[in-house]
Amino acid sequence: MIIRGLLTDPSALRFEPFREGIEAAWLHRDPDGGPAAAVLRYRPGARSSRHRHAGWERVILISGSQADARGLLKAGDVALNAPGTEHDVYSAEGCLALLVWERQPIMLE
């Protein structure tokens, strides 16, 4: 799969509701909770509920910012979340992020 213009024109992606205030454009998604990748679009003030990582999660911030207990990520930053770690994420200004999951996270709330 080739995704042209992801960083320059994400409006070409097809977003669908994911969590309250968060939409997802799925790039691929294993139906049994295995590997997945998506571009997530957070509205200003959106928060993801607490979740545990069943495998590695890679987060690449495309625009805006988001924060968790470890700190603030800004556009261009990358976060790696190890299996077994838990967190919730908040975006005061809204953001666009590419997430790649080794295994899809387990929602705790």
CA-to-CA dists, residue 16 to 22, 24, 56, angstroms: 9, 5, 24
- Among 107, 90, 82, CA closest to 21: 90
Decide if pLDDT at 7 tops 80.
no
pLDDT at 4: 82
Q: Place domain 25-107 in its CATH homologous superfamily.
A: Jelly Rolls (2.60.120.10)
What is the helix, strand, coil percentage profile of the chain, to 5? Answer: 5, 55, 40
pLDDT at 97: 97
Q: What stretches of 6-103 adopt beta strand conformation (E)?
A: 16-19, 22-29, 36-42, 46-52, 57-68, 71-74, 78-81, 86-91, 95-101
Q: Give CA–CA dist 5/32, Å, rounded.
A: 29
For residues 3 and 71, which has the higher predicted lDDT (pLDDT)?
A: 71
Decide if pLDDT at 10 tops 90.
no
Token pair for 96: 């666009």
For the stretch 35-92, pLDDT in tens is 999 999 999 999 999 999 999 999 999 999 999 999 999 999 999 999 999 999 999 9
Provide the 3-class DSSP secondary structure of residue 9.
coil
Token pair for 43: 């509205």
pLDDT at 109: 81
In the 8-state DSSP scheme, what is residue 34? -
Residues belonging to the chain: 109
Q: Which amino acid, 105?
A: P
